[in-house]
Structure 1
Amino acid sequence: MRFFWTFFWSFLLVQMLTYVVSSMTPGAEYEFMPAVIASVVVTILIFVVASVIPNEPAAKH
């Protein structure tokens, strides 16, 4: 389930970001497929970063 919800929210947020940026850029058009590819990349990066960050608490110095 966490894979689905992570992809779901990254899909929505990347689509929103793509739409807003293309609306603000003169002469640019909103394109769906590059945003889908970007949302897949963002989802993969989220899982990679989550696996790299340690889970145990930091030791006191």
Structure 2
Amino acid sequence: MRYIWTIIWSVLFSATISYVLSSMAGEPFNLTATLVMAAIFCIAVWVLGEGLLKEDKQH
């Protein structure tokens, strides 16, 4: 379930960022760029969440 929520939030965040940046540049909204950015966000969150930011449970 956490993977599904990660995908949903990544798409929402990337759509927001893409919309704002394209509006500021005066360009049309590009859905392909939005989905690519969402995929990058998903991969980054999964790598950070599963590997790099694990808590040590030895204490």
**TM-score, length of structure 2 as denominator length:** 0.84
- In structure 2, C-alpha distance between the alignment counterparts of 1:13 and 1:49, rounded to whole Å: 17
State how far apart, in whole Å, the 2-side matches of 1:48 and 1:40 are.
12
Quote the RMSD (CA, aligned, Å). Answer: 1.4
Q: Give the greater-gyration-radius structure (CA).
A: 1
Distance 1:7 1:55 in 2: 23
Cα distance, 1:10 vs. partner?
Answer: 0.8
- May I ask how many residue pairs the two structures share in their alignment? 57
Q: Equivalent residue for 1:33?
A: 32
Structure 1 counterpart of 2:5: 5
Amino acid paired to 2:18:
T
Q: Which has the higher helix share?
A: 2
Query: 1:54 Cα deviation (Å)?
Result: 2.9
Separation in structure 1 between the aligned mates of residue 36 and residue 46 of structure 2, nearest angstrom? 16
Paired with 2:34 and 2:48, the residues of 1 have a C-alpha distance of 21
Kindly indicate whether residue 41 of structure 2 is the aligned counterpart of residue 42 of structure 1: yes
Give the unaligned 5+ runs of structure 1. Answer: none
The reply on whether 1:52 has 2:46 as its aligned counterpart is no
